[in-house]
Amino acid sequence: MNGRPRPVVPPRPSAATAPAPPAGLPRVRAARTIGAGRRRRGHGPTSAAPPCPAAMRRGGPAAIAACLAGALAVLAGPGGSSWGGRRPPRSYGHLEGDVRWRRLFSATRFFLRIDGGGRVEGTRWRERTGSIVEIRSVCVGVVAIRAVHTGFFLAMNKQGRLYGSKEFSPNCKFTERIEENGYNTYTSLRWRHHGRPMFLSLNSKGRPRRGGKTRRHHLSTHFLPILVS
């Protein structure tokens, strides 16, 4: 209008006319914001970053304490307890001490007894002579059982027969183990039957069973050390 020539503006390149990248170079996709757009099927929501570092920079000691409390809650697990949902350890007062005076009460309802002649048997009468035994720790997990009034040690020979011995010998050593039901089992430390342990056992009539015929799951092999009042 005033005689000046209008500048020529080059047209914008469209998608159809845009020049292709040189061959050999990979295509670069636009960066996608975390959490933006639609989530793909099967993928859960993106977990947010823990606010602990920022809170620690802003809040001082109070924020640090809150952050540590949250970390302990995560470590405790869904149960929310300090044991992480596991059962707390049991307390077995009847097993405490290196030397214990007890009555061994079997799951077949007999008290173990060693009479004055060295015979091992079960009795229903808890006050009968020979029913109080001294359980002495020999080493870790191994004990010696001696009748207090008769002085005989409980022993097991190679054939799995129980008897009373006046002298302490390797036959008098038994491995003590706590079973899942809270009872104890006692196996010969020295002898085994075809590679299997032989257990102290009283059958339903109060008679000792041969060690080769006993198994850990038999109730006749389970004993509860009862405190002597």
- Alpha-carbon distance of 44 to 23, in angstroms, equals 38
User: 160-216, pLDDT tens digit by residue?
Assistant: 999 999 999 999 999 999 999 999 999 999 999 999 999 999 999 999 999 999 999
What pLDDT does 12 receive? 58
Which H/E stretch holds residue 58? helix 52-59
- Residue 129 tokens read as 């002579």
Query: Minimal CA–CA distance to 149: which of 110, 189, 113, 187?
Result: 113
Residue 19 clears pLDDT 60, i.e. is over it: no
- Going by pLDDT thresholds of 50, 70 and 90, the confidence category of residue 13 is low
What b/e readout covers 46-60, taking b as 16+ CB neighbours within 10 angstroms? eeeeeeeeebeeeee
3-class DSSP assignment, residue 121: strand
Dihedral through CA 121, CA 122, CA 128, CA 133, nearest 10? Answer: 80
Q: Specify the higher pLDDT residue, 221 or 50.
A: 221
Residue with tokens 């850990």: 216
Residue 108, number of CB atoms within 10 A of its CB: 18
- Going by pLDDT thresholds of 50, 70 and 90, the confidence category of residue 99 is confident
Question: How buried is residue 190: exposed, middle or buried, by Cβ count under 10 Å (0-12/13-18/19+)?
Answer: middle
How many helices (H) and strands (E) are present in the chain, helices listed first? Answer: 2, 11
- Going by pLDDT thresholds of 50, 70 and 90, the confidence category of residue 97 is low
What pLDDT does 7 receive? 58
Please tell me whether the overall predicted TM-score, pTM, comes out greater than 0.85 for this model: no
Q: Specify the higher pLDDT residue, 118 or 24.
A: 118
Amino acid at 117: G
Mean pLDDT of all residues in 21-39? 46
Residue 220 clears pLDDT 60, i.e. is over it: yes
Beta carbons within 8 Å of 33's beta carbon, 6+ residues apart: none
Mean pLDDT of all residues in 156-160? 96
Beta bridge partners of 197: 192
Say if CB 143 and CB 188 are below 8 A apart: no
User: 129-138, pLDDT tens digit by residue?
Assistant: 899 999 999 9
What pLDDT does 188 receive? 97
